[in-house]
């Protein structure tokens, strides 16, 4: 859960794995640099493509790097990243890198992540796929509603114990069921009534 908005991320390797990592960081608002000696077509606008073999200075200014090239190149990226203080995700040897990425379900501000620590990414993906249906778009609506009511409770309920009780109660599963059947306006009104 890093805030990458406006930060430079280097993606070494423009193959399918690199393009998946690129899409993920762009979704987070990062600025991206892709390093690959091959000609790459279809890169999103604003992504800088460095069309040359990887060299250590390609990591300069990066907050994070993704090593998605052949294993020998990825090993160099990991070493160069450590020397420069840049965290590296190593696609071919996850345990050699500084971080791994979980499989993620996003519903608005609701985020569910599944990780095997890089040991079995396919399993993490399959667990995510299984959970996606259970955590539907209503979760985004519920989180928005909880944020709205949280602000109201904090502003209007002076007793800390009562605030905690209310906020805990609003996160109970029955509110999700009501949201699915009654809609946001009815649930908002019911929550406000209990405040």
Cβ neighbours for 137, distance < 8 A, ≥ 6 positions apart = 107, 108
pLDDT at 81 > cutoff 90: yes
User: Is 80 exceeded by the pLDDT of residue 1?
Assistant: no
Q: Once rounded to an integer, what is the mean pLDDT over residues 11-24?
A: 96
> DSSP state, 47?
P
Beta bridge partners of 30: none
pTM assigned to the model: 0.72
Local structure of residue 44 (DSSP, 8 states): P
pLDDT digits 0-9 by tens, 132-186: 888 888 989 999 999 999 999 999 999 999 999 999 999 999 999 999 999 999 9
- Do residues 104 and 113 lie in contact, with contact meaning Cβ atoms separated by under 8 Å? yes
Q: Helices (H), strands (E): how many in the chain?
A: 7, 7
For 14, left (φ over 0), alpha (ψ -120 to 50), or beta?
Answer: alpha
Q: What is the pLDDT of residues 25-69, one digit of tens each?
A: 998 899 999 999 999 988 999 999 999 999 999 999 999 999 999
Average pLDDT over residues 4-21: 96
Instruction: Quote the pLDDT of residue 112.
Output: 86
Please report the sign of the dihedral spanned by the C-alpha atoms of residue 23, residue 52, residue 93, residue 88: negative
Helical spans, DSSP H, in the chain? 16-27, 71-84, 121-132, 138-156, 160-170, 173-182, 184-194
């Amino acid at each position: 859960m890093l805030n990458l908005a406006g930060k430079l991320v280097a993606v070494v390797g423009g193959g399918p794995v690199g393009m998946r990592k690129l899409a993920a960081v762009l979704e987070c608002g990062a600025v991206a640099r892709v390093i690959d000696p091959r000609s790459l077509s279809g890169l999103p606008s604003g992504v800088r493509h460095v069309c040359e073999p990887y060299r250590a200075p390609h990591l300069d200014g990066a907050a994070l790097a993704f090593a998605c090239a052949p294993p020998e190149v990825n090993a160099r990226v990991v070493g160069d990243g450590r020397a420069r203080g840049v965290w590296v995700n190593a696609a071919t040897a996850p345990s050699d890198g500084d971080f791994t990425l979980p499989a993620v379900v996003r519903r608005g501000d609701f985020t569910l992540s599944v990780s095997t620590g890089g040991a079995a990414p396919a399993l993490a993906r399959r667990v995510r796929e299984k959970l996606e249906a259970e955590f539907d778009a209503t979760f985004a609506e519920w989180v928005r509603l909880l944020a709205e009511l949280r602000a109201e409770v904090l502003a209007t309920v002076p007793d800390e114990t009562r605030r905690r009780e209310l906020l805990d109660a609003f996160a109970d599963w029955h509110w999700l069921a009501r949201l699915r059947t009654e809609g946001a306006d009815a649930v908002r009104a019911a929550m406000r009534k209990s405040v």
